[in-house]
Amino acid sequence: MKTELYREVVLATDIKKHNLRKGDVAKVVDFVQGNGVVPDAYILEAYNVLGVTIAVFTLPVNLVQPLVANEVFHV
């Protein structure tokens, strides 16, 4: 199921280039349709707790998960 734009999602993998870890939250800012060789992907924005953008990157849709009601943010 495709996630709506501007929804927050959870990373299902580490993104070492941006010092992000599995479980971090990012916002979907765009969707990129795959072509059979390259998979469908999201362009994501990661930001710190103050709302300052720290990274914008592309990740295949299978490496993000929706937020669920029983999860809690923590530092």
Report domain extents, the chain: 8-66
* pLDDT digit string, tens, across residues 30-46: 999 999 899 999 999 99
75 pLDDT higher than 80 = no
C-alpha distances (whole Å) from 46 to each of 32, 38, 61, 64 are 17, 23, 16, 13
C-alpha distances (whole Å) from 54 to each of 19, 34, 38, 49, 63 are 10, 26, 26, 10, 19
For 27, the 3-state DSSP assignment is strand
23 pLDDT higher than 80 = yes
For 37, the 3-state DSSP assignment is coil
1 pLDDT higher than 70 = no
